[in-house]
Amino acid sequence: MKGIILAGGTATRLFPLTATTSKQLLPVYNRQMIFYPLNLLIKAGIKDILIIVAPEHSGQFLNLLGSIFDKFDVHLEFKVQKIPRGLADAFILGRDFIDEGNVTMVLGDNIFEDDLSDKIKNFQAGGMVFAKQVPDPKRFGVVEFDENNQVISIEEKPAEPKSDWAVVGVYTYDKNVIEIAKNLQPSERGEIEITDINKEYLKRGQLQVGKLEGAWLDAGTYDSLLEAGNVVKERKIYENFDPMINEAIEIFNEELKAIAKKRLK
């Protein structure tokens, strides 16, 4: 299993906060946002992770993450996405990285309270996504279930949603996702949609959809960024990090402090 974190884009809804840095490098309570999707992948046993970044912020990601996991057998690669073409483009950009294996992609601004480790570890083939009940499903990809809890349809931002179950930002697929993504036609928005990948797996009878119970935080606006920090603190989500990540951050912090002291002399 390989991992991908999509951390590109311009995040215009967060201007001017993102005028000087990437959204995924903004703080959520006591650490940068990027560590939350990293934690999800690492807790699932994934050690090879590709981070897709915008060109203007690539150096900042390298400064933070370039060597932070070197002592822990976690290998990070970085890929620059010059022009965002939709979420599904990540599997085209990462096709050589994915190679013949399975892959889990996490959106860099999504934070989950549920522990998805076992489900990702036990994944075999096909596609697997997760859904959460939301008050405003028109903003998301919407999953419709039948009376037996089986998925019968998925629609992207429907005007009249058939349910209030929204697909969240973590996606697990087998190697076939590369060819599926390459054959997609752009939507009316001019993007290749992740929902169309899910539709193809559903058409093949190979799509699993798990339901989330805990918080799902999409930190893409001022209010949701603030809410994310508050929820992480109040529900102590920050305590759910893999010990390796905590140790890596602590070592990194001590190195920064040592460098700062030398500069003051």
Q: What integer pLDDT is reported at residue 220 of this predicted model?
A: 86
Residue 146 within any structural domain of the chain = no
pLDDT tens track for 90-116: 999 999 999 999 999 999 999 999 999
Residue 161 forms part of a structural domain: no
Contact 115, 139 (CB under 8 A): no
Residues of the chain with pLDDT > 90, as a percent, come to 88
Q: Which amino acid is at 128?
A: M
> Is residue 57 a part of any domain in this protein?
yes
Amino acid, res. 152: I
For residue 224, which of 148, 111, 123, 133 has the smallest C-alpha distance? 111
Over residues 12-22, mean pLDDT: 92
Would 143 be classed as within a structural domain? no
Task: Tell me the C-alpha distance between 169 and 5, whole Å.
Answer: 10
Rounded to two decimals, what is the model's pTM? 0.95
Tokens 């996606």 found at: 171
Total of domains in the chain: 1
Confidence class of residue 185 from pLDDT cuts 50, 70 and 90?
A: very high
- In-domain check, residue 136: no
- Indicate whether 181 belongs to any domain: yes
Cβ atoms of residues 213 and 114 within 8 Å: yes
* Within a domain: 142: no
- Looking at every residue in the chain, the average pLDDT score rounds to 95
- The span from the CA of 69 to the CA of 242, in Å, is 13
Beta bridge partners of 167: 131
CA–CA separation, 7 vs 54, rounded Å?
7
pLDDT in tens, 120-158: 999 999 999 999 999 999 999 999 999 998 999 999 999
Instruction: Give the orientation angle of helix 35-43 with respect to helix 243-264, to 10 degrees.
Output: 140
Tell me, yes or no, whether 207 lies in a domain: yes
What CATH number is given to the structural domain containing 20? 3.90.550.10
Expressed as residue numbers, the domain containing 211 is 2-131+167-264
Q: How many CA atoms lie within 13 A of 154 on its CB side?
A: 24
Cβ neighbour number for residue 37 with a 10 Å cutoff? 28
In the predicted structure, residue 83 carries a pLDDT above the cut 90: no
Cβ-defined contacts of 24-27 (< 8 Å, 24+): 24/108, 24/109, 25/57, 25/60, 25/61, 25/64, 26/219, 26/225, 27/229
* Residues pairing with 145 in the sheet: 151
